Chains A and B, each alone.
Chain A
Amino acid sequence: MESAETTRLRFDLRIIASIIPENSRVLDLGCGNGDLLEWLARNKNIAGTGIEMDKQKAARCIARGLSVLQGDLNDEVDDYPDCSFDYVILSQTLQQVFEPARLLYSLARIGRKVIVSFPNFSHYSIRLQLLTRGMAPKNDQLPYSWYDTPNIRVITLKDFRKFSRDVGYNILKEITIATNRSNEEGKVIGLFPDLRATYGIYIIEKNRM
């Protein structure tokens, strides 16, 4: 068994982990093998729950001692009472969601704050490919061909900022990052994030008038 200290979280997950305060109640949607939840449980004493569609991954999480529900996140989020969690995490999944407005509405209902991350479609590599080659672009973050991609939506940082405002969310924080090929390492991008960031990470909450 690896210890929490030696388990290297993926770079974007490290950023998200650093945002979560100690002793929070956290829901991780699409939690995969549970790396983030386990790290948070060990290092920040959170009460975590994960939702994972893949049966093998969900089973692996449960066998690690994590509380994880195997199922479709679009359905599973409906059952929780309001404000059941301090943070709800939707990491690198928004671009695969069929009804993003409806999902975000549910997330902002069951969580006080929502952390959303997605690959930035306005990255310069994407723009250049489309401009010079005239074909559906691919990069390390969006490696699929148009005909076999799970990513049914293309989102830019600007798109998301506008979408958040339009559907009634406050963006509390925006962290834009550029990751390396494997996405394991990266850095925070301050200047020209729309062009240079590979991922955007947003903390949003519902506009409570």
Chain B
Amino acid sequence: MKQSGTIVEKQYFTYGAAPDRLQLESGAVLGPVTIAYETFGTLNRDRDNVILIAHAFSGDSHVAGHYPTDREGDKPGWWDFMVGPGKGIDTDKYFVICPNILGSCMGSTGPKSINPETQKPYGLDFPMMTIGDMVTTQKALLDHLGISELRAVVGGSVGGMQVLEWCVRFPEMIRSAVPIATTMRHSALAIAFNEIARQSIMADPKWNNGDYYGGDFPRMGLAVARMVGHVTYLSDEAMRRKFGRRLQDKEAFSFGFFDGDFQVESYLRYQGSKFVDRFDANSLLYITKAADYFDVVDRVTASGPLKGGDLQKVKYLVISYSSDWLYPTYQAKELVQALKRTGQDVSFCEIEADCGHDAFLIPDERLTTLVKGFIDGVG
């Protein structure tokens, strides 16, 4: 029997050392820049079987499989049900690349990386980067790997934003795009929740203006930020089904604040505490801000059909979830409308699911079948 996980190793690509530092959208410069990435499957001779997967805000390059150092019982990558031999994105056919985003803390350069000028972690000296800057670094990685054509760019949530950014920046490289549970720009609601998350970190005294590396870090602020995030990833229905008003390990109210009474409290506390062990508070600040700044509406609207007759068009598959209240279906439909108006080849499907925004991370045959059929059918 084939081991459920492909064995994969994290790789690193570094470029942009002074004086060729990276010019960011904000005008700031950054360099050198390291991008962590993982690859699955084999690049074919024509180099035309490449699929780029863009991860969501707190994700990483470990999209599927196991690391050689994993022990029995360790979880595989975050989209293991989708990516692998014979799966929706079939690594027997396709060469899959998943880079860690700029500004993250999972191997790519971000606020906790060492600033070559000070030999200390950047902290708030890290320049503000955008979704566009993330895509610029991914393009540099592909150049480095000698890849100039993508059969598909696929991603959910903030990953979907990167997909759209790819499409407006490098349409000539892309044959198809699958933005999932995403938006052309944040609504006030989405910005509001991100701001609450940021304020909760910045209000933690241990945050110390972002300068906490090497000491105690804003554990509580980051945990609360994650708790807010988790509420936005779920839905009213999902929370009713999962928790309702059920109590956690008790028969009666505690009539106090320190023991969580309700299961939902316990769940959020658990999610919060789990998150602080793996994620950097400053990365959360930077990445949520990048997502808030992201706005691709004008560029999608202006990106009419490619001129010149035979140039290939990007084929789009837009997917939304019925219970996603962070990026609701109406926002996916706005994207579909904009693409239709500019004459793009677009498919759209809303998947009926009560798990909210995070539904794309939960194994679902419908998503797998859609993505598989769509990508396999790209001419």
- Residues A58 and B349 in contact in the complex (CB < 8 Å), given A79-B340, A80-B340: yes
Specify which chain B residues have a CB less than 8 angstroms from the CB of A17 in the assembled complex: none
The answer, among A64, A71, A80, A84, for a CB contact under 8 Å with B348, is: A71
Interface size on A, residues (CB 8 A): 19
Specify which chain A residues have a CB less than 8 angstroms from the CB of B377 in the assembled complex: 64-66
Which residue from chain A places its CB closest to the CB of B338 in the assembled complex?
A: A79
Q: Would you give the 0/1 interface string for B333-344, flagging 1 where the beta carbon is closer than 8 Å to chain A?
A: 100110011010
Name the segment of B110-118, B292-300, B366-374 touching the other chain: B366-374
Q: Contact at A64–B373, with CB atoms within 8 Å?
A: yes
A134 in contact (CB, < 8 A): no
Q: Contact at A65–B348, with CB atoms within 8 Å?
A: no
Which residue from chain B places its CB closest to the CB of A48 in the assembled complex?
A: B345
B361 in contact (CB, < 8 A): no
- Residues A65 and B369 in contact in the complex (CB < 8 Å), given A79-B341, A84-B343: no
**Pairs A–B under 8 Å by Cβ, sample size 28:** A47-B345, A49-B345, A58-B349, A59-B351, A59-B370, A62-B347, A62-B370, A63-B369, A63-B370, A63-B373, A63-B374, A64-B373, A64-B377, A66-B347, A67-B315, A67-B345, A68-B348, A69-B340, A70-B348, A70-B349, A70-B350, A79-B336, A79-B340, A79-B341, A80-B340, A80-B341, A81-B341, A81-B343
- Which of chain A's residues 145-162 have a Cβ closer than 8 Å to chain B? none
Mostly helix, strand, loop or mixed at chain A's interface? mixed
Specify which chain B residues have a CB less than 8 angstroms from the CB of A58 in the assembled complex: 348-349
Specify which chain A residues have a CB less than 8 angstroms from the CB of B378 in the assembled complex: 65
B346 in contact (CB, < 8 A): yes
- Residues A69 and B346 in contact in the complex (CB < 8 Å), given A59-B370, A62-B370, A62-B373: yes
- Contacts between chains A and B (CB distance < 8 A), count: 59
Specify which chain B residues have a CB less than 8 angstroms from the CB of A187 in the assembled complex: none
Cα–Cα, bound, A79→B335 (Å): 11
Q: Contact at A69–B373, with CB atoms within 8 Å?
A: no
- Residues A59 and B369 in contact in the complex (CB < 8 Å), given A70-B350, A71-B348, A84-B343: yes
A55 in contact (CB, < 8 A): yes
Q: Contact at B345–A59, with CB atoms within 8 Å?
A: no
B106 → A minimal CB distance (Å): 32
Q: Would you give the 0/1 interface string for B351-372, flagging 1 where the beta carbon is closer than 8 Å to chain A?
A: 1100000000000001001101
Which residue from chain B places its CB closest to the CB of A58 in the assembled complex?
A: B349
Specify which chain B residues have a CB less than 8 angstroms from the CB of A49 in the assembled complex: 345
Q: Contact at A69–B348, with CB atoms within 8 Å?
A: yes
B237 in contact (CB, < 8 A): no
Cα–Cα, bound, A47→B312 (Å): 13
Specify which chain B residues have a CB less than 8 angstroms from the CB of A69 in the assembled complex: 336, 340, 346-348
Q: Contact at A65–B374, with CB atoms within 8 Å?
A: yes
Most chain B CB within 10 A, of A55, A64, A67, A80, is at A67
Which residue from chain A places its CB closest to the CB of B304 in the assembled complex?
A: A81
A91 → B minimal CB distance (Å): 20
B92 in contact (CB, < 8 A): no
Q: Contact at A67–B333, with CB atoms within 8 Å?
A: no
A174 → B minimal CB distance (Å): 31
Q: Would you give the 0/1 interface string for A33-67, flagging 1 where the beta carbon is closer than 8 Å to chain B?
A: 00000000000000101000001001100111111
B171 → A minimal CB distance (Å): 17
Which residue from chain B places its CB closest to the CB of A70 in the assembled complex?
A: B349
B164 → A minimal CB distance (Å): 18
Specify which chain A residues have a CB less than 8 angstroms from the CB of B372 in the assembled complex: 63
Specify which chain B residues have a CB less than 8 angstroms from the CB of A81 in the assembled complex: 341, 343
B376 in contact (CB, < 8 A): yes
Which residue from chain B places its CB closest to the CB of A63 in the assembled complex?
A: B373
- Which of chain B's residues 278-321 have a Cβ closer than 8 Å to chain A? 315, 317
Which residue from chain A places its CB closest to the CB of B375 in the assembled complex?
A: A65
Which residue from chain A places its CB closest to the CB of B317 in the assembled complex?
A: A62
Most chain B CB within 10 A, of A47, A55, A62, is at A62
Which residue from chain B places its CB closest to the CB of A61 in the assembled complex?
A: B347
Q: Contact at B366–A59, with CB atoms within 8 Å?
A: yes
- Residues A67 and B346 in contact in the complex (CB < 8 Å), given A79-B337, A79-B341: yes
Which residue from chain B places its CB closest to the CB of A68 in the assembled complex?
A: B347
Further contacts, 4 of them, CB under 8 A, given A62-B373, A71-B333: A55-B349, A63-B370, A64-B377, A65-B377
Which residue from chain A places its CB closest to the CB of B316 in the assembled complex?
A: A67
A181 → B minimal CB distance (Å): 33
Most chain A CB within 10 A, of B336, B341, B345, B373, is at B373
A47 → B minimal CB distance (Å): 8
The answer, among A55, A67, A71, for a CB contact under 8 Å with B351, is: A55
Q: Would you give the 0/1 interface string for A7-37, flagging 1 where the beta carbon is closer than 8 Å to chain B?
A: 0000000000000000000000000000000
Specify which chain A residues have a CB less than 8 angstroms from the CB of B348 in the assembled complex: 58, 68-71
- Residues A65 and B376 in contact in the complex (CB < 8 Å), given A58-B349, A70-B350, A71-B333: yes
Cα–Cα, bound, A58→B349 (Å): 7
